[in-house]
Every structure is written in structure tokens, then in C-alpha cells.
Chains A and B, each alone.
Chain A
Amino acid sequence: MAHPSVAVLEYHLVSYRRMWRSTLFSSFAMPVLLFVGVGAAVGEYVDRGDALPVPYLHYIAGGMLAFTGMQVAITESGFPVQSYMTWDKVYHGMAATPVRVADILAGHLLYIALRVAAASAAFLVVMVPFGAVGSAWAVLTPLVAALVGLSVAAPMFAYSASVTGPYLMTVMRFATMVMTFFSGAYFPVDQLREPLSLVAYPLPLWHGVELCRAAALGTGTAWPVAAHVGVLAAWFAGGLALAHPRFVKRLAT
């Protein structure tokens, strides 16, 4: 007999079968357009000055892959979670069966990890013809992106499960914006002045960007790989520690 969390994952996959078309643009087309557009246009300037050791398009590719994963994860752990908890109460339906709260969380997070991995794998495939894949380590980038996805989804679950007002959109936008600017996807964070650049280090996306860029280009990471992975894992674990009791509480009332 399959584990209950697998049954929950199956539910989300069945649900995705009904709406995958509507996610094609945001999960696949838009990141690719942004990559090619920014890479070509901005790259034109940046590469003239030889500011980077590699072409700009190659420089941003790995980071944008991680960024894409983060975006899918934030979207999937925002309104869907709020709706399952507050409006359609799909979670409540699950909670009336042998499925436990931990299974509900695990199944949904597993689904998000798969969605992120799929979106970043597609992005990786697009990177190849642009010459942006310089190392075999690149095959690991969808896995890293999935970890980035989990590291932002888990805390988002905790937030989305308990918020009913109009703030969810604001929080999602703000989190996305901060990570867009401060995670080094588009330019090295040390380009920022000292206090600002420090913003990057606690953000999960910066660690994802570092790992994915290094894997794609076959270069080194800013911190030891274990440290980057550790920060992502800590975000994930911390998010779970917040989300689980909130789910328990909301599902019991």
C-alpha cells in the first residue's frame, strides 16, 4: 500500500492534469523569454566592458534557472494553499481520512518539488543551444532548484495557511522582488555596497543561484557547497516547523 503522502501527491498530479496548459506560460515560456531577452540586451552592454569572465548570457543562465524554480514554488505555495485551507477546504477533506497532517504537507510539498524540477529541467534544456551549459554538473541543477523551491515553499505554507486577508499577494510580490534584486541572479552581489550585499546571504535564492551557476558553468561557489545546501535545508526545516503546527491548528477548527 502506497504511503498516504503519495496518495496526496497523486491528488495534486490529477489536479495538475486539469490545468497544466495554464502554467506553460508562467513556468516555461516566460523564464525563457526573460533569459533570452535580458541575456541578449543587457549582455550586449556588459560583455563590451568584459566585466565578467564569461558571456553575460551564460553568467545569468544558472541563476535564472534557480530563480524560475523559486517563482514556481512561491506561486504554488500561495493561493492554492490558502484556498485548500480556507475556501474549498480540500485539506479538510483529506484530514477526515487516514491521511495525517504531515502527509498532507509532505504530499503537497513533494508535488511542488516536482513542478519546480520540471520547470527548471525545461529551462536547462533551453540553455544548451545557447552554450550556457559548460559542465556535466548541470544535470544536478533541477535538483538544486527543487531544494530552493522547498526552502521557500515551506515558510510560504506556514504563512498562506493562516492568512485570510489581502496580504498574501503583497507578501508574494515582496518576497519575489527582494530575491530578484538581492540574490545575484542578474549581477554579482558584491556589486552592491557592503550593507546591501549582506542582504543576499540569508536569502535562500542567493544560495540556489550560487549552486546552480557553479554547476552550469563548472566553476566554484562563493561558500562551500555544504554551507549553501545547509542554508537551504535550514529554510526548509524552519518553514516546516512553522507550517506543521499551523496546519494542525487550522484543520482542527
Chain B
Amino acid sequence: MSPARPSSDTPLIDARGLVKRFGDRIAVDGVDVAVHAGEAFGFLGPNGAGKTSTMRMIGCVSPPSGGELTVLGMDPLRDGAAIRARFGVCPQDDHLDPELTTGDNLTTYARYFGISRRDARRRAAELLDFVQLGERAGSKVSTLSGGMKRRLAIARALVNDPDVILLDEPTTGLDPQARHLVWDRLFRLKRRGVTLVVTTHYMDEAEQLCDRLVIMDAGKIVAEGSPPSLIERYCTKDVVELRFGDDALEPYADKLEGIGDRLEVLPDRILLYAADGDTVAPVLYGRDLAPSGVLVRRAGLEDVFLRLTGRTLVED
């Protein structure tokens, strides 16, 4: 893996006004990001926000339709192969060969980077152990679970000892246990100083993994910062979730007027933003409101997203 983070200020990835169009549809609409060495950087946004399109431009597989993009100090259009040589990519839909074994998927891939057959075999064995697939070295990929395939795709992204790893929704569709295993491996990479660029529509994943992130919606960046700084900027410390066992929540919202800093009425609950959630409950009962459920929790990126877009990140 790369040594400790270089002190250089030049970003590894520098995008200005980046645009991707598919016919009339604008998938990425003027995105500015700078990712520095050693950082774990995130793109958080709902489905269709333009995360994958952005990642594919950064990964030099899809040419930008507009704007400027410099990657590792090079031009993706001219130096695409040289840039890709130093990247590790875990695409959203794996791109594994289901008919090959896990080991063969890794060794054949290593050869694309000019790694010798011998090193490829050694590397494949190490990486399979790293993602806890050592015992499945001879298994066909089509026999693996979704979580195993994901880990294999991550192992494959490491085969060339990359400077930067691009992970497009690393844990989407995985069960909690499988997600934690993936997160654990990504933490280890982060500790080794590898630059991580992650997309996700899970706010907990973004909070867990990212030093810094941008929130994307409809092709645009709507906010940027570290997870705590974003929460501080756009939310109160606490959120009180209120349920009333009733579909019509507006009347309750009216009665809540003046309590806390801000209200959000969702289809099934009301979110009440307050600096100290515990002080809210007594006031509620004082106003003759009897919610069927009260949950006081810390504000998170989900709340930031709701604040900025008026929508929830993951449609239930």
C-alpha cells in the first residue's frame, strides 16, 4: 500500500464544473471536488444523483461531457491508461466473471496491470485472505453470496496495490454482518494511508467511512464537509422523532409550533430538531399532545439531506 499521506497540497483528483450528459439527460451537472492523498472521501446521495457517472469519469472509463478534470496530475483523455494503472476500482455491479474461480478472477485481472504470473498468484492468495475468502479460492464466483462477491470485487481493486481506490456503493444490498466486514476491511486500508473514494446512499456508511464528503442530489453538489461539520451546520444536535398513530400529521405539526428549532413532517412521523431532545418531551405532554412513540436521537447525515432537499435519502 502507499506510504503515509504525502504532504503535497495538489489534489489527486481535481474536478471543476464536471458535467456528464447522456443524450438530453444531465447526469452530472457541474460538480467541483478535490480529493487529497490519504483522504477517505465520499459521495453521498440517493439513487440517480449522479454518483456512478461521476466515479466513472474519475476512473477514466467515461469521458466528461464538460468541465475540467485532472487525475493524479494527468489528463484522463490523454493519459487514461496511466491513470487507471494506479487506480483500484470496485464498480457498482462487480464486473466479475461468474464462470471463473475467485482466484482466477484475481490472477487474470492482475495480468492487465502487467503483474507477473507468479506475483499475481501470490497477491491473489494474500488478498483472498484479506477479504476472508481464503477458503473459497477454488470456488466459482457464481456460487458466492452477494457479500462474498462484493469482497472479491474489493480484493480485485487492490490487486495492483493502487494509490487510490474507487468504491461505488461498496455495501449496497448486503446484510448488516456482511456490511460490517466490508467496513472493517476499508478501515484497515484507510489506516494504511490508501486514498478512498466511496459513493453510498447510506448515511451511516458515509459517517463511518468518510473524513470528508459531498452530498449530491440530481447531479449537483448540495453540501460539502466532514460528517460532524455538516451536521453542525445544517442541524441541531438532537432529533426527536414523534409518531401519532395517525395519517394526518399536519394538525399535530401546528400544535408543535414553537417547540425546538425546526420541524419536518414525514409521511409516517414528525421530526423535531432541538439542541437538547430530552427537554422536548415534558413540553409535549404540557400541550396535551400524546404521541404514540417518542424517540430522541442524535442528528445525522440523513437529517442534513432532508434539510437540504426536503427528501429522505433512502426511499422506504
Given known pairs A14-B108, A96-B89, the reply for A88 and B113 (CB within 8 Å) is no
- A7-21, CB under 8 A of B: which get 1 and which 0? 110110011001100
Task: Using known A-B contacts A92-B61, A252-B61, determine if residue A97 contacts B97 with beta carbons closer than 8 Å.
Answer: no
Chain B residue, CB-CB nearest to A17: B104
Q: B88 — nearest CB in chain A belongs to which residue? A: A96
A2 interface contact, C-beta 8 A: yes
**B109–A93 touching, CB < 8 Å:** yes
Q: Which of B104-130 contact A (CB under 8 A)?
A: 104, 107-109, 111-114
Asked whether any CB of chain A lies closer than 8 Å to the CB of B278, the reply is no
Contact A2 B95 (CB under 8 A): no
Q: A173 in the interface, Cβ–Cβ < 8 Å?
A: no
Q: Smallest distance from the beta carbon of A237 to chain B beta carbons, Å?
A: 24
Contact: B99 with A19, CB < 8 Å? Answer: yes
Query: Given A8-B112, A252-B63, does the pair A14, B82 have CB atoms closer than 8 Å?
Result: no
In the bound complex, CA of A92 to CA of B94 (Å): 10
Of A8, A18, A92, A95, the residue contacting B99 (CB under 8 A) is A18
Q: Determine the distance from Cα of A252 to Cα of B59 in the docked complex, in whole angstroms.
A: 11
Chain B, interface size: which category?
Answer: 20 to 34
Which B58-101 residues have a C-beta within 8 angstroms of A?
Answer: 59, 61-63, 80-82, 84-85, 87, 89, 91, 93, 95-100
A253-B89 in contact (CB<8A): no
B residues in contact with A4, CB < 8 Å: 112, 114
Residues 10-38 of B at the A interface (beta carbon under 8 Å): 22
Tell yes or no: A51 within 8 A of B by CB. no
Interface centre among B63, B104, B108 (most CB of A within 10 A): B108
Binary per-residue interface labels of chain A (88-117) against chain B in the complex, 1 for a CB within 8 Å, 0 otherwise:
111011111111100000000000000000
Given the known interface contacts A252-B62, A252-B63, the answer about A93 and B100 at a Cβ–Cβ threshold of 8 Å is no
Q: In the complex, are the beta carbons of A2 and B82 less than 8 A apart?
A: no
CB-CB nearest in chain A for B22 = A253
Least CB distance from A252 to B in Å reads 5
* Contact for B108 among A10, A98, A252, CB less than 8 A: A10
- Contact indicator per residue, chain B 120-151, by CB within 8 Å of chain A (1) or not (0): 00000000000000000000000000000000
Interface string of A70-101 (1 = CB under 8 A from B): 00000000000000000011101111111110
Q: State which of B82, B99, B111 has its C-beta within 8 Å of the C-beta of A15.
A: B99
Residue of B nearest to A12 (CB): B108
Residues of B near A177 (CB, < 8 A) are: none
Does A1 lie at the interface of the complex (its beta carbon under 8 Å from any beta carbon of B)?
yes
Contact with B along A235-253 (1 / 0, CB 8 A): 0000000000000000111
CA distance A228 to B111 in the complex (A): 37
Q: Is A96 a contact of B84 with CB atoms below 8 Å?
A: yes
Once bound together, how far apart are the Cα atoms of A251 and B109, in whole Å?
Answer: 17
CA distance A98 to B89 in the complex (A): 12
A100 to chain B, nearest CB (A): 6
Residue in A closest to B156 when the chains form the complex, CB atoms: A93
Whether the pair A97, B84 counts as a contact (CB closer than 8 A) is yes
**A2 with B111, Cβ < 8 A, contacts A14-B100, A89-B93 known:** yes
Check if B111 sits within 8 Å of A7, measured CB to CB: yes
Asked whether B111 lies within 8 Å of A10 as measured between CB atoms, the reply is yes
Which partner residue on chain B sits nearest A18 by CB separation?
A: B99
CB distance from B251 to the nearest CB of A (A): 49
Pick the contact of A95 from B61, B87, B114, B156 — CB < 8 Å?
A: B61
Who on chain B is nearest to A97 by CB?
B112
- Pairwise interchain contact B97-A15, C-beta atoms closer than 8 A: yes
User: Which residue of the partner chain, among B62, B95, B97, B113, contacts A98 with CB atoms under 8 Å?
Assistant: B113
- CB pair A94–B112 under 8 Å, yes or no, is yes
Residues of B within 8 A of A8 (CB): 112
The residue on B at minimum CB distance from A99 is B112
A92-B63 Cα distance, complex, nearest whole Å = 14
Please indicate the chain B residues that have their CB under 8 angstroms from the CB of A252 in the complex. Answer: 61-63
A100-B112 contact, Cβ under 8 Å, with A88-B95, A88-B97: no
8 pairs across A/B with beta carbons < 8 Å?
A1-B114, A2-B114, A8-B112, A15-B97, A93-B95, A93-B96, A96-B91, A100-B80
Spell out A's residues near B (CB within 8 Å): 1-2, 4, 7-8, 10-11, 14-15, 18-19, 88-90, 92-100, 251-253
Beyond A97-B109, A100-B80, list 17 extra A-B contacts (CB 8 Å): A2-B111, A7-B111, A7-B112, A14-B107, A14-B108, A15-B97, A18-B99, A88-B97, A92-B95, A93-B156, A94-B112, A95-B61, A96-B87, A96-B89, A97-B113, A98-B81, A99-B81
Task: Give the top 6 A-B pairs by smallest Cβ distance, nearest first.
Answer: A93-B95, A97-B112, A7-B111, A1-B114, A11-B108, A96-B89
